[in-house]
Amino acid sequence: MAKYDLYPEIKVSKFQGAWRGYEQIAEEIKKSIRKEKTIIAIESYIGVRNQEIKENLVNALQPELEIFADDLAFDGDTITKMVKRNLTDDRVFGVMSHQTLDEFYDPDALKKAESEVEKAKGLVVIYGTGASLVTEPDILIYADLARWECQCRYRAGGTNWKVSNSEEDALKKNKRGYFFEWRICDRLKDQLHSQIDFLLDTNVENDPKMVSGEDYRYGLSLTVKQPFRVVPYFDASVWGGQWMKEKFNLDPEAENFGWAFDGVPEENSLYLRYGDVRVEVPSLNVVHQYPNELLGTKVHSRFGREFPIRFDYLDTMEGGNLSLQVHPLTEYIQDKFGMHYTQDESYYILDAKEDATVYLGVKDDIKLDEMIGDLEKAQEESGYRFPDEKYVNCFPAKKHDHFLIPAGTVHCGGSNVVVLEISATPYIFTFKLWDWGRIGLDGRPRPVHINHGKENIQLSRTTDWVKENLINHVQVLEETDSYKEERTGLHELEFIETRRHWFEKPMELDTKESVNMLNLVEGDTAIVESLDGSFEPYEVHYGETFIIPAQLKKYKVTPVGNTDKEKFGLIQAFVR
Model pLDDT for residues 12-65, shown as the tens digit of each residue = 999 999 999 999 999 999 999 989 999 999 999 999 999 999 999 999 999 999
∠ CA(441), CA(442), CA(446), 5° rounding? 75
**Burial profile 270-288: b = 16 or more Cβ within 10 angstroms, e = fewer:** bbbbbeebbbbbbbbbbbb
The Cα–Cα gap between 44 and 149 comes to 14
Mean pLDDT computed over 311-321 = 96
Q: What is the 3-state secondary structure (H, E, C) of 201-241?
A: ECCCCCCCEEEEHHHHHHHHHHHCCCCECCECEEECCCCCE
Q: Determine which of 306-315, 456-465, 554-563 has the lowest per-residue pLDDT on average.
A: 554-563
Q: What is the CA radius of gyration of the chain?
A: 25
Are 487 and 397 found together in one domain?
no
* Helix (H) or strand (E) segment spanning residue 526: strand 525-530
457 domain-assigned = yes
> Where among 453, 469, 485 does a domain terminate?
469
Q: Do residues 352 and 440 both lie within one domain?
A: yes
Q: What is the mean pLDDT of the chain?
A: 95
Does some domain include residue 5? no
Any residues with CB less than 8 A from the CB of 113 and at least 6 apart, and which? 67, 72, 126, 134, 135
Q: Are 388 and 325 in contact (CB under 8 A)?
A: no
* Domain match, 301 and 366 both: yes
Cα–Cα distance for residue pair 257/239, rounded to 1 Å? 9
Q: Are residues 278 and 415 in the same domain?
A: yes
In a domain, 230, yes or no: no
Q: What angle do CA 153, 156, 160 make, to 5 degrees?
A: 50
132 in the same domain as 103: yes
Q: What is the mean predicted confidence (pLDDT) over 102-112?
A: 98
User: Own/partner pairs for 79-83, CB < 8 Å, 24+ apart?
Assistant: 79/104, 79/161, 79/162, 79/163, 80/163, 83/180
Report how far residue 20's alpha carbon sits from residue 290's, in angstroms, rounded to the nearest whole number. Answer: 27
The answer to whether residues 463 and 484 belong to one domain is: no
Q: Count other Cβ atoms within 10 Å, centred on residue 60.
A: 14
Residue 254 lies in a domain: no
CA 17 to chain centroid, in Å, comes to 29
User: What CATH number does the domain containing 167 carry?
Assistant: 3.40.50
Has residue 242 been placed in a domain? no
| Beta strand 538-541 pairing with 525-530 | antiparallel
Query: How many distinct structural domains can be found in the chain?
Result: 3
**Per-residue model confidence as pLDDT tens digits over 124-158:** 999 999 999 999 999 999 999 999 999 999 999 99
Percent pLDDT > 70 in the chain is: 99
Strand runs labelled E in 191-334:
198-201, 209-212, 233-235, 259-263, 269-274, 277-282, 309-315, 324-326
14 Cα distance to chain centroid: 29
pLDDT at 447: 84
Q: Please report whether residue 488 resides in a domain.
A: yes
User: Is the pLDDT at 562 greater than 70, yes or no?
Assistant: no
Residue 310, amino acid: R
In the chain, the amino acid numbered 493 is: L
Closest CA to 289 of 230, 229, 217, 222: 217
Work out the pLDDT band at 446, boundaries 50, 70, 90: confident
pLDDT tens string 466-512: 999 999 999 999 999 999 999 997 788 889 999 999 999 999 999 99
Beta strands, E only, 98-186: 124-128, 139-144
Q: Are 124 and 134 in contact (CB under 8 A)?
A: no
Please check whether residues 368 and 510 belong to one and the same domain.
no
Query: Do 465 and 492 fall within a single domain?
Result: no
Helices (H), 388-483: 388-391, 450-453, 463-469
**Shared domain check, 529 and 415:** no
Would residue 252 count as lying in a domain?
no
Residues 28 and 165 in one domain: yes
Residues 67 and 215 in one domain: yes
Residues 29 and 75 in one domain: yes
Domain that holds residue 135: 10-223
Q: Domain boundary at 168, 203, 223, which?
A: 223
What is the band of 167 on the pLDDT scale with cuts at 50, 70, 90?
very high
Question: Does residue 192 have a cis bond before it (omega within 30 degrees)?
Answer: no
Confidence of residue 181 (pLDDT cuts 50, 70, 90): very high
> Which CATH number does the domain housing residue 307 bear?
2.60.120.10
Please state, in angstroms and rounded to a whole number, the distance separating the CA atoms of residues 281 and 289.
Answer: 13
Neighbouring residues of 40: CB distance < 8 A, sequence distance ≥ 6: 29, 33, 61, 63, 123, 124, 125, 126, 137, 138, 139, 140, 141
How high is the pLDDT of residue 439?
Answer: 81
Among 124-138, 211-225, 309-323, 332-346, name the one with the lowest average pLDDT: 332-346
Q: Which of 469, 498, 517 represents a domain boundary (last residue)?
A: 469
Tell whether 4 is covered by a domain: no
* 130 within 8 A of 69, measured Cβ to Cβ: yes
